[in-house]
Chain A
Amino acid sequence: MKILVAVKRVVDYNVKVRPKSDGTDVDIANAKMSINPFCEIAVEEAVRLKEKGVATEIVAVSMGPKQSQEQIRTAMALGADRGILVESDDALEPLAVAKCLKAIIANESPDLVIMGKQSIDGDNNQTGQMLGALTSMPQGTFASEVEIADGKAKVTREIDGGLQTVELTLPAIVTTDLRLNEPRYASLPNIMKAKKKPLDTTTPADLGVDTAPRVQTLKVEPPAERQAGIKVADVAELVDKLKNEAKVIS
């Protein structure tokens, strides 16, 4: 069984980002970049399936600037067998990414596509679903458990108020939620071996994908600063304020 894993280069989750002074975007010049945490969970799940003998090959694919190679190498250090970079310096929207993935799927014919439910930069939570629509592959989003058996994927989904289990016929798309697994640390020897694994590069144009943006960013600004709180004298005053000022109780 072949698994395709999508990984995205994003600003590291420990970096405190700030908007650019002209408000056009977030300033990530010289910021530390990493693999998107949800994508890392996707890689880990694929590696576990390979270790269990369910999967035989893992292909890591990323879209973005040349430096996205680093995130593909990270995926290969964790256990992916080879990588594909769809190189583009454009700001790629979820639809463009989904179209590129569709083209890669057409070439690679994976049995399972695992990807993060969203990236921590755009927080769109769209690519997996759009890919499902474009390819007509069944999708199991927000997965907290994945079981593969008899050409089917049983996916436990984290939904509002509980868990939902769906059964998908392979080939299928799974998007990962936080509790699916805890990714391992790549071993240092594997990081060095990853350098020798094959990494192919292509472009959206080669794949016949138009990456022109459909959405225009008007303004980026920091969240409003929190106002200072006040001290209340006693419980009675607190209840009074909650009732009459904040109007959160009645």
Chain B
Amino acid sequence: MIRDHETLNQLIDTLSRYVRDRLVPLESQVAEEDAIPDAVVEEMREMGLFGLTIPEEYGGLGLTMEEEVLVAMELGKTSPAFRSLIGTNNGIGSAGIVFDGTEEQKQKYLPKYASGELIGSFCLTEPDVGSDSASVKTTAVRDGDHYIINGTKRFITNAPRAGTFTVMARTDSSVKGAKGVSAFIVEAGLEGISLGAKDKKMGQAGSHTCDVIFDNVRVPADSLIGGVEGKGFYTAMKVLDRGRLHISAVSVGVAERLIDDALRFSMERTQFGQPICEHQLIQAMLADSQAETYAGKSMVMEAARKRDRGEPVSTEAACSKLFCTEMVGRVADRAVQIHGGAGYISEYAVERFYRDVRLFRLYEGTSQIQQIVIARNMVKEKQ
């Protein structure tokens, strides 16, 4: 936790320089090779980027929500693949233990997540379970001092690098919904765990997802997060507000980057005898993008501060996620439009970002799930 302006500025400055001077020049290489160079992974470890949200007593930075979204906005200014690499350790991959883990589990895993020695992945989604996340089919059956886990998890971010999986599995088959689901911390090396082929995605090359298959995997009973059955779904829900604000902030960062690229291009590109930024229809696209990005940024900052004050932000986080991720889609579309034919060519970053940002509207709750959360909260508050 920083909460002091000078130190926070220094941290954001350093990160901003790292993004601009080191990561941005590597973007096309990462996209082409579908891999982040090992040296960069190591640098990100040394910089402490894997432990942004891990509490200080476990070796992380313990950033407040406001500080975290500022960092996420900086990381948004380059390929989302870089952010994705550190995303799970700072979010869903570690949060189960941060929020609900036993002291022993915290001691064992959090310092390793913070240093990046261990990558944590989060296994909730299944072939038949997505937005309806309480209907998890993967099972964990108690067998003496162990649980035996069976099931398939889908689109698992960072699974090929993961050292641990936070696995949502049904421990009580007689209970249909959320109450029958428990969360486990499962080490990746256990017998019976196998990975599917890397998913071929629309964008975000360099960030990898795949299926994770659990076939009679025996995990020690103390792998149950928090030591109590039936809490898994509620554990998963606790991380959501934070994750939604984080993705909102990344979306704002990417939007700022796209505006920067589009603005530069429009000032250099000449048509009808003048730079196209002088043409009013181009100006309209620039202005709309700027105004919407500013709106998104204001939303994220306000919601983050509210969460830091300890107030509930379920509605605000969902509003931010809905608005910012849809907004960056529109900004990316305009950035391509401003670039004209060049925007359709992969030499220009906007073509890549246009594909990359599509994911933001899908994961950590689709836009439609955000709408449902917002509307349900509205009705509940009026009742």
Query: What is the bound-complex CA distance between A6 and B49, given in angstroms?
Result: 29
Interface size on B, residues (CB 8 A): 21
**Which residues of chain A come closer than 8 Å to B47, judged between CB atoms?**
185, 187-188
Query: What is the bound-complex CA distance between A69 and B7, given in angstroms?
Result: 11
Q: State whether A70 touches B17 (Cβ < 8 A).
A: no
Residue B61 lies at the interface, judged by CB distance under 8 Å to chain A = yes
Q: State whether A188 touches B17 (Cβ < 8 A).
A: no
**Which residues of chain B come closer than 8 Å to A212, judged between CB atoms?**
none
Q: State whether A192 touches B6 (Cβ < 8 A).
A: no
**Which residues of chain A come closer than 8 Å to B311, judged between CB atoms?**
none
Is chain B's interface secondary structure helix, strand, loop, or mixed overall? helix
Interface size on A, residues (CB 8 A): 16
**Which residues of chain B come closer than 8 Å to A190, judged between CB atoms?**
48
Q: Which of B6, B9, B22, B61 contacts A188 (CB 8 A)?
A: B61
Residue B14 lies at the interface, judged by CB distance under 8 Å to chain A = yes
Q: State whether A188 touches B48 (Cβ < 8 A).
A: yes
Q: State whether B52 touches A188 (Cβ < 8 A).
A: yes
What is the distance, in angstroms, from A189's C-beta to the closest C-beta of chain B? 5
Query: What is the bound-complex CA distance between A74 and B17, given in angstroms?
Result: 13
Query: What is the bound-complex CA distance between A69 and B4, given in angstroms?
Result: 14
Q: State whether A187 touches B10 (Cβ < 8 A).
A: no
Q: Which of B6, B18, B22, B52 contacts A70 (CB 8 A)?
A: B6
What is the distance, in angstroms, from A181's C-beta to the closest C-beta of chain B? 15
Query: What is the bound-complex CA distance between A207 and B11, given in angstroms?
Result: 33
Q: State whether B18 touches A185 (Cβ < 8 A).
A: yes
0/1 string, A177-220, CB within 8 A of B gives 1 = 00000000111111110110000000000000000000000000
**Which residues of chain B come closer than 8 Å to A189, judged between CB atoms?**
48, 51, 61
Q: State whether B43 touches A185 (Cβ < 8 A).
A: yes
Q: State whether A186 touches B14 (Cβ < 8 A).
A: yes
Q: State whether B4 touches A188 (Cβ < 8 A).
A: no
**Closest residue of B by beta carbon distance from A70:** B6
**Which residues of chain A come closer than 8 Å to B4, judged between CB atoms?**
195
Q: List 17 A-B contacts (CB under 8 A).
A: A34-B13, A73-B10, A77-B14, A186-B10, A188-B48, A188-B52, A189-B51, A189-B61, A190-B48, A191-B7, A191-B10, A191-B11, A191-B14, A192-B11, A194-B10, A195-B4, A195-B6
Chain A interface residues (CB < 8 Å from chain B): 34, 69-70, 73-74, 77, 185-192, 194-195
